[in-house]
Amino acid sequence: MYWRTSKDDSGPAPRNPGDRPALLFASPDSRRVGTESRSLIPWTPLVTAMSDTDGPANVLFVVMDTVRKRNLSVYGYDRPTTPNLEDFAAEARVFEEAVAPAPWTLPVHASLFTGLYPSQHGATQENPYLEGTTTLAESLSAAEYATACYSSNAWITPYTNLTDGFDDQDNFFQVMPGDTLSGPLSKAWKTMNDSDTLRGFADLLVKMGNTAHEFFAKGGGGDSKTPGIVDRVQGFVEDAEDDGREWFTFINLMDAHLPYHPPEEFAEEFAPGVDSTEVCQNSKEYNSGARDIDDEEWADIVGLYDAEIAHIDHHLGRLFDWLRETDRWEDTMVVVCADHGELHGEHDLYGHEFCIYDPLVNVPLMVKGPGLDAGRDETTQVELQDLYHTVLDYTGVDPEVGGPGVGADGEAAEPLDPARSLLSADYREFANTAGPDRTRFSAHDEGGLDDIAFVDYHQPVVELRQLESKASDAGITLETNSRFYSRMRAARRTDAKFVRNERIPDEAYRLDRDPGETENLLGADGDVRDDLADEAEADAEAIGEVESALAVFEREIDGEWDDVDDEDVLDDMGEEAKDRLQDLGYLE
């Protein structure tokens, strides 16, 4: 049976495309939420239902790629990196405890688009494609939504299938014309990649684009694609409304991803006098031990990073102002989040590989929508894949148009789970609702996982190639029983976190008193240390609970790790997969 029966076996009512959500939040006075004033609000459901007369249910979904929560002034950072997001927060719910299901782009976006964990949708470093699952865009397009995806991230392309279902998409490559992969031509692009005869030409185009991007980035000359993406959104929205259609627009903004070469006006404010071509812009050089970075250089790097974030914020403000000025703001749900964060020397790491510490997976999340309270939520833990369910709930779109568990394209479709919609009165109260088997585990039905988020990081095969190359060039031999070669999983609660590592000792942290995850509470025997007398008993209980939750996840997700090394994984990959990773610059 596809639907798991819980204590309340009534289940959600059937939904039709065009239905509006029946449960939203209560609406006490909206309060300014920013660096000057923060308000903590309770989770309160609204009893008023929306109807078809309430206007269109449009969605703008923004992912700020590689943006760390700590570096946003809307989250209390002491540099004014995000003034426009501070203004946005006055109308949005700002979540402090949002968790990404992985620390890098591909699996996180696949989870956003399917509602599944990485081990379920399978788009990981070991197999970098999303296959066999109906996406959010496919469901919305089948319900006559106009859908668009604009990004300059090389993973969000027809190559990886992440753009499936979007009516219009553009990856904004440096060399290829912007429209090459958009609209009807995206189908031709897929045909080229599926053809042994034509794929060589497609490979050449992508290789040209990535080679040019690397060339421009090294010299600091690569232009940001964010201004063009914002312009493209405006044109798409106008065209969709001219056709009388509701719209869903997804954008990924890459400015804060390495390398950091911010526009001059932002560099002058946040990194005055810093030459972006002189600082370390290759995380693999540092992580391999081939290059050291001192405190002064780290400060320069963070300044450039902050400038890139400020540039994103500037253009988001421009887009938000346009929506307001054209009277579209009130009818638009706006989601702003990061797919993952970034490390700048913490834990002796640079970038977003080889670990699942909180700077990478505890991400910013802000949501504005009709009926959503403005305020700061410091207690509710949100899994990013819950946004899939939130958008379905808001738009009233049923993904199972092909029958139970079947989407419009005939592939498996994850149905709406009311306990995973931010619009639901039963959000994260799994025992109170029925939900889909695939993302419900046995402990959900007993209420044992309401406050748990899971992180699922597969073997970092594609990162290892560059890391090994940098190490080899420097005469360094990497230890294979290290985090560089390890798969990792975590169960996280707002107060505690347990990390299962494949090749290094497991880790456990009390996040409530050690948010920097500097003190591993596990001893050499794998048990909670007893040398912290005052906290030992409480630590053992909290860590035991999250470890037990992770054991449930591992058992029921059917994702046990096989005893293989990185060479075995590459041997199992098809030549096409390895060729595509090389095209995208992750293999040398």
**Residue 579 within any structural domain of the chain:** no
And the tokens for 197? 């005869």
d(CA 298, CA 283): 12
Contact 58, 246 (CB under 8 A): yes
Distance in angstroms (rounded) separating the CA atoms of residues 204 and 3: 46
Closest CA to 235 of 224, 247, 223, 225: 247
Measured CA distances, 169 to 172, 173, 256, 455, 484 (Å): 9, 12, 21, 29, 34
Give residue 126's pLDDT: 74
Show which of 413, 445, 477 is a domain's final residue.
Answer: 445
Final residue of a structural domain among 445, 475, 501: 445
Say if residue 441 is in the same domain as residue 459. no
Q: Is residue 345 part of a domain?
A: yes
Residue whose tokens read 């029946």: 22
- The residue type of 107 is P
Token reading at 534: 């005052």
Residue 442 corresponds to which amino acid?
Answer: S
d(CA 156, CA 163): 6
Rounded CA separation 30/456 (Å): 36
Q: Please give the pLDDT value at position 546.
A: 96
Q: What is the pLDDT of residue 80?
A: 98
Contacts of 61 (CB under 8 A, 6+ apart): 112, 248, 249, 250, 251, 335, 387, 391
Q: With H, G, I as helix, E, B as strand and everything else as coil, classify residue 362.
A: strand
Same domain assignment for residues 406 and 533: no
With both helix axes pointing from N to C terminus, report the angle between 105-114 and 386-395 in degrees, rounded to the nearest 10: 30
Domain hosting 512: range is 453-563
**pLDDT on residue 192:** 52
| Same domain for 502 and 370 | no
Contact yes or no for 300/212 (Cβ under 8 A):
no
DSSP 8-state secondary structure symbol assigned to residue 522: B
Give the 3-state secondary structure of residue 476: coil
The pLDDT value recorded for residue 24 is 30
Q: Is the domain of 391 the same as that of 471?
A: no
The Cα–Cα gap between 67 and 22 comes to 33
Query: Cis peptide leading into 118, omega within 30 of 0?
Result: no
User: Residues 160, 2, 109, CA angle at the centre, nearest 5°?
Assistant: 25
pLDDT for 371: 67
What CATH number does the domain containing 407 carry?
3.40.720.10
Question: Do 109 and 204 reside in the same domain of the chain?
Answer: yes
Co-location of 326 and 463 in the same domain = no
Q: Is 144 left (phi over 0), alpha (psi -120 to 50) or beta?
A: left
pLDDT recorded at residue 175? 35
Q: How far is CA 123 from CA 83, 106, 138, 356, 502, in A?
A: 35, 7, 17, 17, 19
The CA distance from 427 to 97, in Å, is: 14
Query: In the beta sheet, which residues pair with residue 170?
Result: 150
Task: Say yes or no: 432 and 379 in one domain.
Answer: yes
Whether 258 and 344 map to the same domain: the answer is yes
Q: What is the pLDDT of residue 143?
A: 95
Interatomic CA distance for residues 152 and 489, integer angstroms: 29
pLDDT tens-digit profile of 367-379? Answer: 999 768 899 999 9
Residues 530 and 441 in one domain: no
- Residues 469, 353 share a domain: no
441 dihedral zone (left: phi>0; alpha: psi -120 to 50; beta): beta
First-to-final CA distance of the chain: 46
Q: Compute the C-alpha angle 455/494/389, nearest 5°.
A: 55
Q: Which two tokens stand for residue 12?
A: 């959600």
According to the model, what pLDDT value does residue 197 have? 57
Domain boundary among 378, 410, 445: 445
If you ran DSSP here, which 8-state letter would residue 16 be given? Answer: -
Q: Which residues have C-beta within 8 Å of that of residue 459, sequence separation ≥ 6?
A: 125, 126, 485, 486, 487, 502, 566, 569
Query: Strand, helix or coil at 468?
Result: helix
| Same domain as 509, residue 402 | no
Asked whether residue 13 is assigned to any structural domain, the reply reads no
- Alpha-carbon distance of 51 to 200, in angstroms, equals 51
Tell me the DSSP string of 396-457.
T--S-TTSTTB-TTSSB-PPP-GGG-TT-TTTT-GGGS-EETTT--HHHHTTTTTT-EEEEE
Residue 187 located in a structural domain: yes
Kindly report the three-state secondary structure assignment for every residue of 103-172.
CCHHHHHHHHHHCCCHHHHCCECCECCCCCECCHHHHHHHCCCEEEEEECCCCCCCCCCCCCCCCEEECC
Q: Are residues 364 and 271 in the same domain?
A: yes
pLDDT mean values, one per 10 residues, the chain (588 residues): 32 36 30 35 36 68 98 98 98 98 96 95 85 95 96 85 92 47 44 52 46 47 81 97 97 95 96 97 94 97 98 98 96 97 97 96 95 90 97 95 87 94 93 87 87 92 83 94 93 97 95 95 85 77 94 82 48 48 47
Asked if residue 581 is part of any domain, the answer here is: no
Q: Considering the domain boundaries, does residue 65 fall inside one?
A: yes
For 470, residues 6+ apart whose C-beta sits below 8 A from its C-beta are 282, 284, 285, 288, 290
In a domain, 580, yes or no: no
What is the count of structural domains for the chain? Answer: 2
